[in-house]
Amino acid sequence: MPTAPPAVQEQPRPAAAGAVQPRIELSGVSLCYRLAKQRIRSFKEYAIHFMKGSLSYEQLWALRDVELTIHSGETVGIVGRNGAGKSTLLKVISQVLKPTTGSATARGRLSPILELGTGFDRELTGFENIYLNALLLGHSRREVADAIDGIVEFSGLGDFVRAPIRNYSSGMLARLGFSVATAWLPDIMILDEVLAVGDSSFTHKCEERLRGFHAAGTTVLMVSHNAAAIRHNCTRCIWLDAGRLLADGPTDEVLAQYEGHGTDPESRRAGHLVVNG
């Protein structure tokens, strides 16, 4: 797994006067994981294999030659089967992973929700985790103090906000994580299957907030296996398969291709690339 510092740059060189730079640019992005072929159970066993020179690895390409440009104010859905590279793509954009080849640039403040409970301490209360998560996102204590009442109200957790989050359901974690991440207006919002959990009333509140972000010029990237959620919230859609970008264009057109190709790998690879107009 890549361990080098992230390649995503938050402060790229200034653009020429009058030029409008995209929020997100990916150029030839590929990412490869090295997987050990041996099943090594301890550090001692690893050291023995290492000294003998018998360690061997196989390559797993999670992303291959991805070219992508996303502008301010776009709400982009990302679809694909399990293992297609959707979450890996979001992690590259979020600076969690460094691409093996190519470059990735994100301009502005990122607010990612990549996994439920990321940045939370299960032994702390919901109230304490609001501070912890917001500080990790780069906000000051003063900013959190000013926003915390609104965060608790939007989450709808009520008195549960004083309970340790180890007692929370997945839906409650999603409520808390989304409420913290969206309490401030970001330049780029990244959501990985967040709208798939929680009840319908909270999902409706989330969608209303996302529409407000869209109107304010925030760029939103959303991964979901729910085609209806992608169709309802996104004007543009990206289809990934086996780490490659197969289609990129209007949501209805890309979803029609994705849903029409089923699950057969050969038929998926026969799809044509949709180019944005």
Q: How far apart are CA 174 and CA 171, in angstroms?
A: 5
Residue type, 138: G
231 pLDDT above the threshold of 70:
yes
Backbone angles phi, psi at 58, to 5 degrees: -120, 155
Instruction: Quick: pLDDT tens for 173-195.
Output: 888 888 998 899 889 999 887 76
Q: Which residues pair with 101 in a beta bridge?
A: 30
CA of residue 20 relative to chain centroid, distance = 24
| Helices 200-216 and 170-181, packing angle to 10 deg | 20
198 confidence band (pLDDT: 50, 70, 90): low
Mean pLDDT of 12-20: 50
Please identify which residue in the block is written with the tokens 């289609």. 247
Sheet of 24-36: strands edge to edge?
Answer: 57-70, 24-36, 101-106
In tens, the pLDDT along 99-150 reads 999 999 999 888 887 776 677 888 999 999 999 988 888 889 999 999 999 9
Is the dihedral angle over the CA atoms 262, 267, 273, 277 positive or is it negative?
A: negative
Distance CA 12, CA 56 (A): 38
Q: pLDDT digit string (tens) for 40-54?
A: 777 777 676 667 766
Residue 267 DSSP SS3: helix
Q: Say how far apart CA 256 and CA 164 lie, in whole Å.
A: 44
The first and second tokens of residue 77, run together, are: 């859905």
The helix (H) or strand (E) run that includes residue 143 is: helix 141-155
Average pLDDT, the chain: 81
| Tokens describing residue 116 | 């439920």
Q: Half-sphere exposure (CA, 13 Å, Cβ side) for 243?
A: 15
Rounded (to 5) percent helix, strand, coil in the chain: 40, 25, 35
Q: Is residue 60 a contact partner of residue 35, using CB atoms and an 8 Å limit?
A: yes
**Residue 205: per-residue pLDDT:** 85
Domains defined for the chain, CATH in brackets: 72-269 (3.40.50.300)
Please give the helix or strand (H or E) that residue 205 lies within, else none.
helix 200-216
Phi, psi of 242 (to 5 degrees): 50, 35
Q: Name residue 77's beta-bridge partners.
A: 222, 237
